[in-house]
Amino acid sequence: MHPKWACNKKILLGISGGIAAYKTPELVRAFVKSGCEVEVILTETASRLVSPLVLSTLSKRRVWLDADFTSDENGWRIPHISLSDWADALVVAPCTANVLRMAACGASDTLLGTAMLACAKPTVFFPAMNDRMWANPATRENARVLALRGAIVVDPDSGDLACGYEGKGRLPSTEAILDETWAALCPLRDMAGKKVLITAGPTHEYIDPVRFISNPSTGKMGYALAAEARYRGASVTLVSGPSAERAPSGVKLVRTVTALEMLDACLSGLPEAAIVIKAAAVGDYRPAAYSPQKIKRGSGGLALDLVQNPDIALELSRKKMPGQILAGFAAETENVGENAVEKISDKNLDLIVANDISEDGAGFMSDTNRVRVYFAEKYGLAPSPLISGTKLETAAGIFDQIGRLRTEA
Ligand SMILES: Cc1cc2nc3c(=O)[nH]c(=O)nc-3n(C[C@H](O)[C@H](O)[C@H](O)COP(=O)(O)O)c2cc1C
């Protein structure tokens, strides 16, 4: 999943001599697959940990080594200047403790060091090292100084480390590196400083320990909204029902199972949220009684007694403060527009994203969607045109529509 505008972005990838350098061919491949062009600078140590030939094969370009510092081949005069001019973003992954130090103090005795110093584009560092090296005050201070100067320093992941220890120091996943890069490059920053709460996925309403009532929602739409909000600068909490989707990097994930749990999580997130988008497919009913033992197969049928779950959108709209924006989703199979408008007033929403789930390429289990956004009458805004495409493209269209509340309403 990559945003449309990532296509043709130019990534200058600095690879330094951490063991995680062995993962960088995958990273180059992922950037290229997203439509980016990639130039790679390898430090001397990194060139012993990962093959320059593999990296140049995957980037379809030569790679730059310290020995090329003074190269003027192929028009790349003064490589550190040309490369930093060429790039839309500089990504350093993995970033050793040493390269973090060099960046913090402006050391320019290597090609990567000099390119970092010369680069005025968004810069994202992915430190990866032994956990004690990362925890060392010297390293922390270097990370802090760089962040203060406007660079993005992404905390390493926790887990098993190549050195045999367990702790914080792992290079984040390739997908997470891409997410952070898109967040650094996103041309729109209209959600900067805003807290956005998004719900996603289905709920599971358990009948007994092994059976539940649910629906086919995958969570893809809500997860795409979370990714888009984060790219645009928001601080995002994603309240998710059971879903196999990967939470975007930098998003706070709150896992829930039942509608009641989801309601609790939403109510605790509501006071801080500027925007709430309810993309989850919450079960309307749950079994009246839960059987703690597996229900045995009997001789006849089985009648289930169901009770209504609370309506999360309604509960939130009752508690929302002036200025907070509450958006719902309407999955309809008929009279989409009419039902959407009715839902807005029934649930006191600011807007609703309506999709006709009977159409191909829309709604549950699909990678694409086709929606239209309707606004509460008080805003006097006409419904949006049809927004369609991948769920990430749809999410971008939805945030553009939310932006209309500020500019047109
Ligand atoms: C096998 C091996 C693995 C290493 N892994 C790391 C690492 O993950 N992170 C780190 O900061 N340093 C690591 N080091 C130490 C760096 O390679 C060393 O600090 C080196 O000077 C870094 O050079 P560079 O920053 O110019 O690439 C490792 C060293 C070796 C020999």
CA 167 to each of CA 95, 171, 175, 236: distance values in angstroms, whole numbers, following the listed order? 17, 12, 21, 25
Domain 195-290+306-407 CATH class label: alpha beta
Strands (E), 45-165: 63-64, 89-95, 123-127, 152-153, 157-160
Length of the chain: 409
d(CA 333, ligand 1 centre) in Å? 58
**pLDDT for res 361:** 61
Which residue has the CA at smallest separation from atom 21 of ligand 1?
Answer: 98
User: Do 262 and 282 meet the contact criterion of CB atoms below 8 Å apart?
Assistant: yes
**pLDDT for res 337:** 84
| DSSP single-letter state for residue 238 | E
pLDDT tens digits, residue range 383-401? 999 999 999 999 999 999 9
Which residue has the CA at smallest separation from atom 2 of ligand 1?
Answer: 19
Is 195-290+306-407 the same fold as 4-185? yes
d(CA 20, ligand 1 centre) in Å? 9
b (16+ CB within 10 A) / e for 115-129: bbebbebbbbbbbbb
Beta strand 205-208 with 211-213: parallel, antiparallel or unpaired? antiparallel
d(CA 18, ligand 1 centre) in Å? 4
User: Do 246 and 222 meet the contact criterion of CB atoms below 8 Å apart?
Assistant: no
d(CA 54, ligand 1 centre) in Å? 20
Q: If we measure between CA atoms, which residue out of 79, 72, 16, 9 comes closest to residue 49?
A: 16
Q: What is the sign, positive or negative, of the torsion defined by CA atoms of 333, 338, 342, 345?
A: positive
Measured from the Cα of 102, ligand 1's closest atom is 25
Given 3.40.50.1950, 3.50.50.60, 3.30.750.210, 1.10.760.10, which CATH number is that of 4-185?
Answer: 3.40.50.1950
Measured from the Cα of 169, ligand 1's closest atom is 8
Strands (E), 258-301: 275-278, 285-287
Distance CA(283)–CA(258), nearest Å, equals 8
Residues (pLDDT < 70) of the chain are: 1, 74-76, 358-365
Residue labelled with tokens 């887990």: 159
Measured from the Cα of 45, ligand 1's closest atom is 27
**Four-CA torsion 22, 23, 24, 25, nearest 10 degrees:** 90
**pLDDT for res 365:** 63
> Any idea where the domains of the chain sit in the sequence?
4-185, 195-290+306-407
Tokens of 339: 């039902």
Check whether the bond before 94 is cis (ω within 30° of 0): yes
Q: What are phi and psi of 122, to 5 degrees?
A: -50, 135
Distance CA(182)–CA(5), nearest Å, equals 9
d(CA 273, ligand 1 centre) in Å? 42
Q: What is the secondary structure of 40-52 as a DSSP string?
A: EEE-TTHHHHS-H
Distance CA(407)–CA(409), nearest Å, equals 6
Beta strand 152-153 with 123-127: parallel, antiparallel or unpaired? parallel
Determine what percent of the chain falls in helix, strand and coil, rounding each to the nearest 5: 40, 25, 40
Ligand 1: residues with CB < 6 A are 16-20, 43, 45-46, 96-99, 128-129, 133
Q: Which of 96, 102, 108 to mutate to test the pocket of ligand 1 (most atoms within 8 A of CB)?
A: 96
User: Do 66 and 52 meet the contact criterion of CB atoms below 8 Å apart?
Assistant: no
Q: For residue 105, indicate whether it is catalytic.
A: no
Tokens of 378: 């008080």
pTM of structure: 0.92
